[in-house]
Chains A and B, each alone.
Chain A
Amino acid sequence: MSKRPSILELVGVTKQFGGLTAVDHVDLKVREGEFFTIVGPSGSGKTTLLRMLAGMETPSSGDILLRDKLVNELPANRRPTCMVFQSLALFPHKSVGENIEFPLKMRGVARDRRRARALELLRLLRLPEGYYGRNVTQCSGGERQRVALARAFAYDPEILFFDEPLSAIDYKLRKTLEKELKDIHKESGKTFMYITHSLEEAMVMSDRIGVMRSGKLVQVGTPEEIYLHPRDRFVSEFMGEVNVIDVRKGPNGHAVGIELPGDFALPGGVAAFDTGHLVVRPESLRFLGSAGEAENHLRGTVYNEYALGSRIQYQVRVGEKVFIVERLRQQAYQGGLDQEVLIGWDAKDSILVTD
């Protein structure tokens, strides 16, 4: 994958609205055929960035290069890219078939050729051919999703953009569609660029992920890199619930807790630091019989537990802080609530971030 040429290149792309900088000097290369996802909380500028790439906004400064050609000013209807909108934006007055044929009709393709292509796309997206004449308002959420995708494919774009199209869909269907989208990406070989506020969604589908915060692209990497080596506290917390201990540099390569008393062994390969945050994932924490069973430990009380299906989550109060411990059901905690416990983790399962 890494050997593929880049299809899209962003150089210092910036967008200002009045005094507000929505997108701040973003540099990025998206590779041909890649499934690239931009993740960020709402207001992080990800939608604005995508709209600039699709030609619906013009960058205030910086360059957008599509196959090495500058496209900053090229309007959306002349870019070889296509967007699947959050609302899907299916034309309510047109049938499923007419929606899919729309880009072909705009290009003046003959009626029977349009129809043939629409039917082909219905098959590709696993929709029955009978849907051709159906009204889009009669389709279910998942079907509408596929119609929108078929319409985008009919345009035959070089890059497909997705503006959180799954955010309004219920959990179970969303999970199915995420996998389906990944399959379609693989089958079509097109470059997909997706934006979402859900890192979980990004992890399932993407080849690479870019994390955005306040208009800046803070980290780009594979899902594994982002999960294992978050660049800062923001990225690590964005990954889901984590336990964060504020620490400063202690003697012999250890760290000393700032708000919590304790001396913690650090993972290998930590760069020099004065203060930082030690991030421990809930699943890396376990209950200990004695302090010697893990490299680091804390003493606290269990004050609540939540069943999450195959896993159980515990909230353990240590001093003023609450730690989240997640265990598989088979390794459930046996003691009662409000009991004093020892929780611990090994140094290699923690991450030290300095921002």
Chain B
Amino acid sequence: MAATAGSGRNRRLVWIWTGLIVVFLYLPVVCGLLASLNQGRYFIFPIARWSLRWWDKTINSIEVSILIQTSITIALIVTAISVVLAFCGALAFARYNWKGRTLFQRIVLLPIFFPQTVLGLALLLWFNMLGLPLSWRTAIFAHLVWIVPIVTLVISIQVYSFDAALEEAALDLGASRWQVLKEVTLPVLWPGIFSGALFAFLLSWGNFPLSLYTTGADTTVPEFLYAKMVAGYTPGVPTLGTISTGGAALIMLGGYAIVLLARRARSGR
């Protein structure tokens, strides 16, 4: 009896602890939301007058829609390129045994550990040296340097659990190399590729330090938010911040739903 009472108390403690962590993680987001619903220009708590004025302004702003377009364009192109590069990289990382593999495994992950501001600065100098004009195009390259290694790692995890005999079996059953890739390798690695793509998109979408140095005259959403925080704050800033966070959350939930549906369709046959 004492044991169950004890375990009941323990369970309550676990719940409280979990709740506190969730609050700690999400409170800043909620703060942003609250700040965006404030009618006045400056954020004072408790909010004196609630209003959707800034939401209306933000959504109808041409400037904001250009920002979002730039961010989405960069994120989509980064996603497409990094998935292709990381897929090949992951096969080299986790599937095939070759001479320089250990070295490759170490070198490929190194950019993740560089401080991003330093990486951004280094890329800026590099682009200058090459005489490349800075724009959202150079930002794509900068994002790739940091994101490809991460996506490689994400896909590699899936590749590690991939039974190499599956490809051999397919080949042995008369499939050509191309058929093996199309019928076996890609479908089996699909969950890893898909989560890698989500990672790539979200990391690019939220990236600030690399964009700061490499976008030139173009501006992404995080850059804009930072600039407005430094000078010219309006509740439009937390509004756009909330939209950006909400959009990322939606993409993640949507991705999760797709994986779940695909799994159900597969096992429900």
Q: Give me the interface of A with B, judged by CB distance under 8 Å.
A: 54-56, 75-78, 81-83, 85-87, 89, 91-93, 95, 102-103, 105-107, 133-135, 137-138, 151-152, 155
Q: Does B266 contact A (CB under 8 A)?
A: yes
18 contacting pairs across A/B (C-beta < 8 A): A55-B172, A56-B168, A76-B168, A77-B171, A77-B176, A86-B165, A87-B163, A87-B165, A91-B166, A91-B170, A93-B188, A93-B190, A93-B266, A106-B176, A106-B183, A134-B269, A135-B269, A151-B173
Min CB gap B140→A, angstroms: 32
Contacts known (A93-B188, A102-B183); A138 close to B173, Cβ less than 8 A: no
* Cβ–Cβ < 8 Å partners of B102 in chain A: none
B191 to chain A, nearest CB (A): 10
What's the least CB distance linking A128 to chain B, in Å? 15
B binding-site residues for A, Cβ under 8 Å: 163, 165-166, 168-176, 179, 183-184, 187-188, 190, 266-267, 269
Q: Which 6 A-B pairs have the closest CB atoms?
A: A89-B169, A89-B165, A103-B173, A76-B172, A106-B174, A106-B175
Residue numbers in B under 8 Å from A83 (CB-CB): 168-169, 172
With contacts A91-B166, A93-B187, A102-B183 known, is A135 near B172, CB below 8 A?
no
When the two chains form their complex, are residues A82 and B173 in contact, meaning their CB atoms are under 8 A apart? Answer: yes
The distance in angstroms between the C-alpha atoms of A46 and B228, with both chains bound, is 70
Contact A91 B188 (CB under 8 A): yes
Q: SS class of chain B's interface: helix, strand, loop or mixed?
A: helix
Q: Are B171 and A76 in contact (CB under 8 A)?
A: yes
Main SS of chain A's interface residues?
mixed
Residue of chain B at shortest CB distance from A83: B172
A138 CB contacts on chain B under 8 angstroms: 267
The residue of chain A having its C-beta at the shortest distance from the C-beta of B190 within the complex is A93
CB distance from B106 to the nearest CB of A (A): 24
Contact A85 B187 (CB under 8 A): no
Find out whether the CB atom of A106 lies under 8 angstroms from the CB atom of B173.
yes
Given A95-B269, A134-B269, A138-B267: A77 and B165 interface contact (C-beta under 8 Å):
no
B115–chain A nearest beta-carbon distance, Å: 41
Known: A103-B173, A103-B174. Is A89-B168 also a contact (CB below 8 A)?
A: yes
From B179, B187, B266, A106 is in contact (CB under 8 Å) with B179
Q: Are A135 and B169 in contact (CB under 8 A)?
A: no
Contact B187 A77 (CB under 8 A): no
Q: Which residues of A contact B190 (CB under 8 A)?
A: 93
CB distance from B169 to the nearest CB of A (A): 4
Q: Which residue of B lies closest to A161 (CB)?
A: B172
Residues of A within 8 A of B183 (CB): 91, 102, 105-106
